[in-house]
Chains A and B, each alone.
Chain A
Amino acid sequence: MKDSIIREQTKQNRRHPAVQLGAVLFWLLLWQAASTAVGLPLLLPSPLRVLARLKELGSTWSFWETVLCSLRRILIGFITGVTAGALLAVAAWAIELVEALARPMLGVLKATPVASFIILALVWVESDALASLISFIMVLPVVYHNVREGLDAVDGQLLEMAHAFSLSRWKIVRCCYLPALVPFVLSALTSALGLAWKSGIAAEVLGRPVRAIGRQIYDAKIYLETEDLFAWTLVVILLSILLEKLVTALLGRLSRSRARRAKG
């Protein structure tokens, strides 16, 4: 017991903002030192130069247009992937045949490298729709598996109670299914968003649609604009963190308001 309290305190200390900031600073300093040691900005620009370039890019309208277009493409894939994954999971849970049919398809989706999908999909769709399609393909199995697990985690005894007291369908969903599903859906959305973002950008690098972060990364590499390459990569990282925080905060607010409603 005492041990576990001490372990918990150590864990909390490690998560302290000052510790996290210190860790980031450490890696930035290491990056700066490595850049100074290499001495060639073309190979490894310093963090200060990258930040300066990012500031420069950020002052142009085309930068924001590019970011918004990439966001739009990836969010379309994410939202449709989440919807399709959740619906398929419910259908598979209710109908055995759907599960039997879905299992091999999802197994293939899980095992196939994302690059293979991107190249294949390039044959089928226009480059502008590629990122959405790839995000969709990456998100669907993650959401499917989590929602399916959540449905299996529904408390059978509570369900029996609900049927015994002839509760309405809506009450059964609200009191038995939703509470079991929420933790699984939260975890699915957080990991699926990261996946959608990374695979979507990868699709843009290979598909090179107009006004896309991925295209900017590709062009920076072709024209040896290493500072741009780092700056755009930094944009991808920052947006990924921002989106994850946004989704976590939004879902956190939703769960809190659910708890408040429950308290009535």
Chain B
Amino acid sequence: MKLERLTVRYEGLTVMQDLTLELPDRGMVCLFAPSGSGKTTLLRVVGGLLRPDSGRVIGLEGKKPAFVFQEDRLVPGLSAEQNVALVLDREHQPLAGEFLRKLGLSGWEDAFPAELSGGMKRRVAIARALAYGQQCKEVVYLLDEPLKGLDEQAAATALELIRRQTADAPGFFITHDYEEAQAAAEWIVCLEGRPMQVMQIVRPSR
């Protein structure tokens, strides 16, 4: 997988200029950078939601993006389980309840987003991405601060599940927490500056 000479300009600002990055075909890559540096923009480019002004992403052709967005983006009129099931085909519907239970949301399947705490909504968003990832044969996980707002125990459970589920697929994981980055990723890419540049690539030791 390779990001080749990516240039993105947004509202007169050059977010990245000729950003090039070669990455392994599987395993989670953590994008570690200060707030507002353009990590989310990079994730949107990789996921095909934003077309770069120039450059291209190589090696993800045909892969479906499984997003955890920075915001939970749950449908307010659907229950937790229905929100996850929404992105699944008929055959994979049982995955919705299964992933919610794995993330500690047993008994909350029928609750609407408004009835859930911030951390619970986050877990529904994670369940949606992981269930979708399991359904798709070819997938790239794009997780934008997935553990934001989770308490320590819920974060540990979610992180363990994310690692297990995403081990065989390429993925990106955004976080501000270096310890979290070390725990989650196979590779940590430290980015900085404007336009955003790769400062360092680290392989965390476990």
Contact = CB atoms under 8 A, between A and B. Distances in A.
A165 B87 contact: yes
A174 to B, nearest CB: 9
A177 to B, nearest CB: 11
Interface in A238-264: 258-259, 262-264
A263 B110 contact: yes
Interface in A160-218: 160-161, 163-167, 171, 175-176, 179
A160 B72 CA distance: 12
A167 B77 contact: no
Contact of B67 (A164, A176, A259, A263): A164
A179 B87 contact: no
A179 B77 CA distance: 8
Interface residues of A, number: 18
A163 B49 contact: yes
A164 B76 contact: no
Given A165-B67, A165-B87, A175 B73 contact: no
A164 B65 contact: yes
Given A262-B78, A264-B79, A161 B64 contact: no
Interface string B57-79: 00000001111010101011111
Contacts, number: 47
A160 B49 contact: yes
Say what secondary structure dominates the interface of chain B: loop
Contact of B75 (A160, A163, A175, A263): A175
B47 interface: yes
A166 B71 contact: no
A175 B78 contact: yes
A158 interface: yes
Interface string B76-110: 11110010001100000000000000000000001
A158 B86 contact: no
A254 to B, nearest CB: 13
Contact of B86 (A157, A160, A164, A171): A171
Interface string A137-164: 0000000000000000000011011011
Most buried by A among B77, B82, B132: B77
Given A175-B86, A264-B82, A161 B73 contact: yes
Nearest to B125: A161
The 3 closest A-B pairs by CB, nearest first: A165-B87, A161-B73, A175-B75
30 contacts: A157-B69, A157-B71, A157-B73, A158-B73, A160-B49, A160-B73, A161-B67, A161-B69, A163-B49, A164-B47, A164-B49, A165-B66, A165-B87, A165-B128, A165-B132, A166-B64, A167-B86, A175-B75, A175-B77, A175-B78, A175-B86, A176-B75, A179-B77, A259-B77, A262-B77, A262-B78, A262-B112, A263-B79, A264-B79, A264-B110
Given A161-B73, A167-B87, 16 more contacts: A158-B73, A160-B69, A161-B67, A164-B47, A164-B65, A165-B67, A165-B132, A166-B64, A167-B86, A179-B76, A258-B77, A259-B77, A262-B77, A262-B112, A263-B112, A264-B110
